[in-house]
Amino acid sequence: METVSTSRAFGGTQGVYKHVSTETGTEMTFSVFVPEHAEGETLPVVWYLSGLTCTHANVTDKGEFRAHCARHGLIFVAPDTSPRGEGVADDAEGAYDFGLGAGFYVNATQEPFAAHYRMRAYIEEELPALIGAEFPADMSRQGIMGHSMGGHGALTIGLRNADRFKAVSAFAPIVSPLNCPWGEKALSGYIGSDRASWREYDACALIEDGARVADLLVDQGDADGFLEGQLKPELLVKTCEAAGQPLTLRMQEGYDHSYYFISTFMGDHLDWHAARLKG
Name the helix (H) or strand (E) containing 248. strand 247-252
Phi, psi of 144 (to 5 degrees): -140, 140
Coil, strand or helix at 109: coil
Q: Which of 21, 31, 82, 148 is catalytic?
A: 148
Q: Is 148 labeled as catalytic in the residue annotation? A: yes
Q: Which of 72, 152, 257, 273 is catalytic?
A: 257
Q: Which of 152, 176, 224, 269 is catalytic?
A: 224
CA distance 176 to 206: 10
- Of 110, 68, 89, the closest CA to residue 265 belongs to 68
Q: Is 258 labeled as catalytic in the residue annotation? A: no
Q: Is 257 labeled as catalytic in the residue annotation? A: yes
Residues taking part in catalysis: 148, 224, 257
